[in-house]
Amino acid sequence: MAGDQATGDAYQFEFAALDGGKLPLSAWRGHPILVVNTASFCGYTPQYRDLEALWKQYRDRGVIVLGVPSNDFGQQEPGSATEIKQFCETNYDVDFPLTEKYRVVGADAHPFYRWAAGVLGEGGAPRWNFHKYLIGANGQLAGTWPSGVRPTDKAITGEIDTALAGK
């Protein structure tokens, strides 16, 4: 897979779903995809609520929200797949797709995250939980936001609206 280079598009990558099965990004070809590394025990964890609101607002228009649990920052996602799923559903009514837990930084990061960092250059990798990447309908990165930018912020919804308009 070409995922170690800043070539190609996001559709070359696949994640394993938290509850089994596969989540190939190519299944959502032509749709904007917001990819967010998540954690259950972080100061930003309440952003799950915003991610779910964004998902409900835009899913009928084809936007995908994809949560990628990661234990890379502060060991704030120590749980098993079952524990993560239960936490998200019980506390935040999450029903957008969640992947298995992955590394999102460093040499062992999931290939999508190595690709995104390669495309964006130095500083393009997540620096904490709830870093956001927007994949445009063409499979290319259309935006990236750090943890402190809420998913419902106008900076993100504006880019999603632009991506939808350009479909």
Residue keyed to tokens 């120590």: 78
Which SS3 state, helix, strand or coil, does residue 16 take? strand
Say how many C-beta atoms besides its own lie within 10 A of residue 92's C-beta.
18
Spatial separation of the C-alpha atoms in residues 62 and 53, rounded to whole Å: 14
State the catalytic residue, choosing from 16, 17, 42, 164: 42
88 is catalytic: no
| Residues carrying an active site annotation | 42
